[in-house]
Amino acid sequence: MKALVFHGPGKLALEDRPKPAILLTTDAIVRITTTTICGTDLHILKGDVPAVLDGRILGHEGVGIVEEVGTNVLDFKKGDKVLISLITACGRCRFCRKSMFSHCRTGGWLLGNSIDGTQAEYVRVPYADTGLRLLAPGLDDEAAVMLSCILPTGMECGALCGQVKPGDIVAIVGAGPVGLAALLAVKLYSPAEIIMIDLDDNRLEVARSFGATRAVNSADGKAVERVMALTHAEGVDVAIEAVGIPATFDICQKIIAPGGRMANVGVHGKPVTLNLDRLWASNITLTTRLVDAGTTSMLLRMVESGSLDPKKLVSHRFKLPEILKAYATFADAAKEHALKVTIKAGDLEPCQR
Ligand SMILES: NC(=O)c1ccc[n+]([C@@H]2O[C@H](COP(=O)([O-])OP(=O)(O)OC[C@H]3O[C@@H](n4cnc5c(N)ncnc54)[C@H](O)[C@@H]3O)[C@@H](O)[C@H]2O)c1
Ligand SMILES: [Zn+2]
Ligand SMILES: [Zn+2]
């Protein structure tokens, strides 16, 4: 089968790999129909996630058709259309019992990290009963694949960790797919203002169309002054960091109001400076979280009912043989006007766009 393989920082290749086989009785093999690229894959490519080793098939997002199940998979069978969650968990260990599925002792974020992932024709999904969700045959693949990672991330690591309440002033730093997913999640809690901050005017424009009330381009280094001016020098109630670099963490800690919540979403490859000398008296809460995907089923119900429309996050479409082009497009999002790029597997003829 064709698969996208990581060969160390900056190195990716589309290669022929053996089709995966069932290793444990709780596994399923899924034939991928649609996958996509996450900002986390870009961090892996930069070398920010050293756990990802040379030779790993990347990807933790996908929709597909069950090809085969292990003897202890109870809820899925060959032919089922499924959503693959980035988190596959045993459901029984100490951390699973605390609903921290991302920290499962034998599971968690494995796909495209410590085991081969979804940017391939087939993937082995461990703990299939918890890692898969059944999809109606007619549900749109592109809408569904946004539920593998980015929507639960925006909801859990952004809106829920930030404890967004009606009337809050919320700032989201980073208008990439994850920041935009956080925006969609935050809106469900009726904030008074959503201030979106990014370097990319196209993404800021999209954020406006998704309901951001203010857009701040931080390219001139003046984001903090702008946000303070917009908030009568008081700062924001919730600051969501959705980039993963020291500069954007710093913006969050400089705009947070007393009593505010800073929710870090970004994957960081370098330490940041925490200004406790200024913040110790500010009654702030700082959260970090690896998405647990505990909200996936709830978000899926919203997509099924039409109350959430994540397909609008898709800007570009590719087929698996073009996946290196898909990476180049996503990595150069500002020039390409890219948001989420989807990759169809299965029909391997180049895409007509
Ligand atoms: N915590 C989790 O479980 C989890 C899950 C998924 C993704 N993530 C992380 O979320 C982050 C966002 O993911 P994404 O897919 O949207 O990535 P992305 O790379 O598409 O988006 C990042 C955005 O940040 C903007 N940006 C870069 N530097 C900036 C700066 N100095 N000021 C303002 N904006 C700046 C870019 O223009 C871009 O729009 C990544 O770090 C990703 O690894 C975390
Ligand atoms: Zn992701
Ligand atoms: Zn567990």
175: domain CATH number is: 3.40.50.720
Is any atom of ligand 1 closer than 6 Å to the C-beta of 157?
yes
How many A from CA of 71 to the centre of ligand 1?
39
Which is it for the CA torsion 238, 98, 177, 297, positive or negative? Answer: negative
Q: Is 277 exposed, middle or buried (0-12, 13-18, 19+ CB in 10 A)?
A: exposed
Asked if residue 145 and residue 57 are part of one domain, the reply reads: yes
Residue 351 has pLDDT above 60, yes or no: no
Q: Work out the average pLDDT over 208-220.
A: 97
Residue 349 has pLDDT above 90, yes or no: no
Asked if residue 236 and residue 184 are part of one domain, the reply reads: yes
Model confidence at 347, pLDDT cuts 50, 70, 90, reads low
pLDDT tens digits, 51-97:
999 999 999 999 999 999 999 999 999 999 999 999 999 999 999 99
Q: Percentage of the chain surpassing pLDDT 90? A: 98
Q: Work out the average pLDDT over 206-213.
A: 98
Asked if residue 13 and residue 135 are part of one domain, the reply reads: yes
- The answer to the question of residue 336 being in a domain is yes
- The answer to the question of residue 144 being in a domain is yes
Asked if residue 204 and residue 337 are part of one domain, the reply reads: no
Q: Which amino acid residue places its CA nearest to atom 35 of ligand 1?
A: 198
Asked if residue 109 and residue 180 are part of one domain, the reply reads: no
Q: Work out the average pLDDT over 259-288.
A: 97
Q: Which domain holds residue 328?
A: 2-149+293-344
| Closest atom, ligand 1, to C-alpha of 200 | 37
Tokens of 83: 């959503």
Asked if residue 253 and residue 192 are part of one domain, the reply reads: yes
Evaluate whether 158 touches 186 at the Cβ level (below 8 Å).
Answer: yes
- The answer to the question of residue 349 being in a domain is no
How many A from CA of 69 to the centre of ligand 1?
35
For residue 101, give the nearest of 164, 152, 35 by alpha carbon: 152
Q: What's residue 169's pLDDT?
A: 98
pLDDT tens digits, 221-241:
999 999 999 999 999 999 999
301: domain CATH number is: 3.90.180.10
- The answer to the question of residue 55 being in a domain is yes
Q: Percentage of the chain surpassing pLDDT 70? A: 98
Is any atom of ligand 1 closer than 6 Å to the C-beta of 112?
no
Asked if residue 222 and residue 202 are part of one domain, the reply reads: yes
How many A from CA of 278 to the centre of ligand 2?
33
pTM of the model: 0.96
Listing DSSP states for 26-69 in one string gives T-EEEEEEEEE--HHHHHHHHT--TTSPTTEEP---EEEEEEEE
- C-alpha distances (whole Å) from 6 to each of 21, 113, 172 are 20, 10, 30
Asked if residue 135 and residue 6 are part of one domain, the reply reads: yes
pLDDT tens digits, 20-39:
999 999 999 999 999 999 99
Asked if residue 262 and residue 176 are part of one domain, the reply reads: yes
- The answer to the question of residue 350 being in a domain is no
pLDDT tens digits, 175-192:
999 999 999 999 999 999
Asked if residue 180 and residue 67 are part of one domain, the reply reads: no
Asked if residue 325 and residue 209 are part of one domain, the reply reads: no
- The answer to the question of residue 353 being in a domain is no
Evaluate whether 132 touches 82 at the Cβ level (below 8 Å).
Answer: yes
Domain count across the chain: 2
Q: Work out the average pLDDT over 318-338.
A: 97
Q: Please identify, among 241, 263, 288, the residue that sits at the C-terminal boundary of a domain.
A: 288
Give the position of tokens 């809460």.
285
Tokens of 288: 């970090």
Mean pLDDT of the residues in the chain: 96
Give the position of tokens 């959260």.
287
Q: What's residue 329's pLDDT?
A: 98
Residue 156 has pLDDT above 60, yes or no: yes
Asked if residue 210 and residue 303 are part of one domain, the reply reads: no
Q: Work out the average pLDDT over 341-351.
A: 74
